[in-house]
Amino acid sequence: MTNQNLAIGIPTPVKIFTWILICAGCFFFYVYTFNPAISFPNANLDTYSAKMGFASSGVRILGSVLALLISVIAKNPRWLFITLISRIFIELGDVVVGFILDGITANTFALIVLASAEIWAVLRLWKVIKTNP
């Protein structure tokens, strides 16, 4: 089966979820890179390392958004599968770091919910990939 036939198999709910991730990712790229006080009211950006940390997180988010965008525009479930797998590890890593730094917070809970939704999408894509080798 060709990639074109496989591309048709991206489930619509996964496409919608991906576009939501793209929009949210663009917002958080802006927040982390240009205005971290929106999400982190006590953020102190007086040092180079703090500025670099937030900007670096913003760039990481933008890279993920770009990978999602390419995958969904190319209608390639394999690319989207790999992109979401990497995002799951990033979200779970953020959960661990957040838990170590702050304990269980609303942000930690939100990241767990996000990782769970990404796992759902990966499982839907896995069925498509396995059905259309």
Residue type, 4: Q
Region of 9 (left: φ > 0; alpha: ψ -120 to 50; beta: rest) is alpha
Average pLDDT over residues 44-72: 92
Write down the pTM of the prediction.
Answer: 0.85
Average pLDDT over residues 7-36: 91
Among 107, 74, 104, CA closest to 91 = 107
Question: Which residues have CB under 8 Å from 2's CB, separation 6+?
Answer: none
DSSP-derived 3-state class of residue 3 = helix
Instruction: Examine the pLDDT at 5 and tell me if it is beyond 60.
Output: no
- Domain containing 95 equals 3-131
Angle CA(92)–CA(99)–CA(65) in degrees, nearest 5?
A: 35
With pLDDT > 90 as the criterion, what percentage of the chain qualifies? Answer: 68
**Whole-number pLDDT of residue 7:** 45
Question: Which residues have CB under 8 Å from 17's CB, separation 6+?
Answer: 117, 121
Give the whole-angstrom CA distance, residue 26 versus residue 122. Answer: 21
**Whole-number pLDDT of residue 1:** 42
pLDDT mean across residues, the chain: 89
44 by Cβ neighbours in 10 Å (0-12 / 13-18 / 19+) ranks as: exposed
**Count of domains in the chain?**
1
Give the whole-angstrom CA distance, residue 70 versus residue 84. Answer: 13
